[in-house]
């Protein structure tokens, strides 16, 4: 019964948003209430679940997205994104620009959480799109495919790291296998799939695309790179320290502290305020106006993401994920396919790749010892499944839709298809490696 209610709820959500053009946040709240009540939850418990879901998700994302919006606005307005874009085109030529951007996103995606990488890359994507008259979806989706794959497959991201522990896998070997699988997944789901996206001409949010400045008015390339990618450096250093230096000291505490995503973003915003604003002749009031405009423009996005969190929590509270997983376990399938399938179904049902991966771990972990399957491949199969078909209950879906200013239908045809491709390619990659090492 919970599965039928879920399917009906998802269908209603799609109809309300796509057919009747209802505001996505209002649709999320209405459908979350109806699903909770239909599953036997009383109104007060359903409302509590909605509040908890919004609070949990926005609590982890609001600061990052807010600081990212401030940083993105500063980078765009100051000309830093224009400087980086111009330099990339000069170095690689417009013909190979897409590949340079994907490589940049892959390097950024290894140490950074998806949300942090997203808000760092969007200003660059949109600036290049406007400056060189290139479809933002065409160059943007491959970069976000790289972020998504690293988030789902590779330690030190939260879900893969936790799965390594729960499956008793080897961190280094999982990372090695993960890289072997991640590269083809990114290439197929990114640049190759992007060849079909050149006709998507929707104009992305102009808040991150300032008017082109003359070359002499641009900040220096080094300063532009530091302002854009300082969080990557800080978080990467902290990640290395966390993985390889286990002795606690004042030095490691300081490095780990400034490598926390929120702290790294905060440091970078202050750096950008001074180096891209005040030092270049703007008053504090002018700079604060710029960062304020950046935050105002993501207000609706935050509400939509909160709505997705509300739906996820209601589905969790009603036991939908447990019901789905139980049904799949009754089928006799290969353990790797079972790990991928359970994770994929929970991902489609709940939206969160991290929740899908960690929920699957609790179900699949006992199977590893009896099946004899390589634990590292089980981590990757679970991670691949956790990326399957992102849609209306995934905050990433709405971030892509709103930032890139796409219709609901076009978001499904681009973002959702890309996520499905990288998930399926990941599963194929797992079985190929399995065929060699079994």
Mention every residue, 6+ apart, whose C-beta is less than 8 A from residue 280.
78, 219
Inter-CA distances, 130 with 105, 135, 206, 207, Å: 19, 8, 9, 12
| Domain coverage including residue 227 | 2-437
For the entire predicted model, the pTM comes to 0.79
pLDDT value at position 182? 96
Q: Alpha-carbon distance 193 to 392, whole Å? A: 21
The per-residue pLDDT for range 31-73, each reduced to its tens digit, is: 999 999 999 999 999 999 999 989 987 887 788 888 988 998 8
DSSP annotation string for 395-414: HHHHHHHHHTT--HHHHIII
Structural domain tally of the chain? 1
Closest CA to 294 of 209, 404, 406: 209
Q: Alpha-carbon distance 133 to 76, whole Å? A: 16
pLDDT value at position 240? 87
pLDDT value at position 307? 86
User: Which residues of the chain fall below pLDDT 50?
Assistant: none
pLDDT value at position 176? 92
pLDDT value at position 187? 97
pLDDT value at position 102? 94
pLDDT value at position 210? 63
pLDDT value at position 29? 94
């Amino acid at each position: 019964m919970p599965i039928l209610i879920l399917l009906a709820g998802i269908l209603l959500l799609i109809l309300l948003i796509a057919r009747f053009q209802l505001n996505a946040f209002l649709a999320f709240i209405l459908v979350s209430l109806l699903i909770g009540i239909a599953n036997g939850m009383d109104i007060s418990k359903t409302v509590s679940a909605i509040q908890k879901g919004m609070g949990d998700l926005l609590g982890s994302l609001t600061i990052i997205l807010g600081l990212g919006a401030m940083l993105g606005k500063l980078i765009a307005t100051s000309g830093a994104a224009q400087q980086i874009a111009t330099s990339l085109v000069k170095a690689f030529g417009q013909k190979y620009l897409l590949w340079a951007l994907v490589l940049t996103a892959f390097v950024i995606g290894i140490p950074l959480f998806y949300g942090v990488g997203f808000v760092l890359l969007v200003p660059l994507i949109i600036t290049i799109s406007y400056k060189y008259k290139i479809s933002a979806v065409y160059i943007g989706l491959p970069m976000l495919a790289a972020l998504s794959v690293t988030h789902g497959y590779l330690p030190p991201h939260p879900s893969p790291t936790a799965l390594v522990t729960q499956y008793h896998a080897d961190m280094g070997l999982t990372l090695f296998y993960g890289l072997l699988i991640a590269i083809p997944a990114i290439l197929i789901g990114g640049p190759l799939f992007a060849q079909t996206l050149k006709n998507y001409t929707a104009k992305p949010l102009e808040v991150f695309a300032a008017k082109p400045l003359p070359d002499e008015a641009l900040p220096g390339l080094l300063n532009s790179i530091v302002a854009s990618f300082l969080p990557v450096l800080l978080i990467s250093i902290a990640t290395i320290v966390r993985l390889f230096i286990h002795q606690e000291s004042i030095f490691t505490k300081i490095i780990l502290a400034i490598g926390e995503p929120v702290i790294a973003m905060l440091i970078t915003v202050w750096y950008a305020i001074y180096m891209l604003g005040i030092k270049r002749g703007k008053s504090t009031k002018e700079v604060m106006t710029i960062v304020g405009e950046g935050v105002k423009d993501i207000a609706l996005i935050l509400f939509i993401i909160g709505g997705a969190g509300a739906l996820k929590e209601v589905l969790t509270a009603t036991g939908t994920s447990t019901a789905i997983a139980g049904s799949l376990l009754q089928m006799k399938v290969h353990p790797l396919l079972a790990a991928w399938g359970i994770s994929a179904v929970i991902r489609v049902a709940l939206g969160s790749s991290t929740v899908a991966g960690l929920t699957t771990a609790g179900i699949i972990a006992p199977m590893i010892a009896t099946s004899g399957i390589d634990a590292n491949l089980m981590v990757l199969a679970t991670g691949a499944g956790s990326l399957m078909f992102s849609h209306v209950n995934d905050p990433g879906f709405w971030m892509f839709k709103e930032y890139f200013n796409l219709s609901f239908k076009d978001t499904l045809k681009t973002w959702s298809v890309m996520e499905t491709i990288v998930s399926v390619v990941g599963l194929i990659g797992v079985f190929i490696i399995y065929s060699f090492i079994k």
